[in-house]
Amino acid sequence: MMTIRERIMGREIDLKIDSIDELSFNRIVNFVNDRWIEVKKENINVPDTQKICALTAIKIATELLKLRDLRENISNNYEEKIKEFIGQLSKTDYIS
State pLDDT tens for residues 50-77: 999 999 999 999 999 999 999 999 999 9
Q: Provide the whole-model pTM.
A: 0.72
pLDDT band at 94 (very low <50, low <70, confident <90, very high): low
pLDDT, averaged across the chain: 90
Q: Which of 4-13, 64-73, 81-90 has the highest mean pLDDT?
A: 64-73
At residue 29, the pLDDT reads 93
Residue 57: CA count within 13 A, CB half-sphere: 7
What mean pLDDT is predicted for residues 74-91?
A: 90
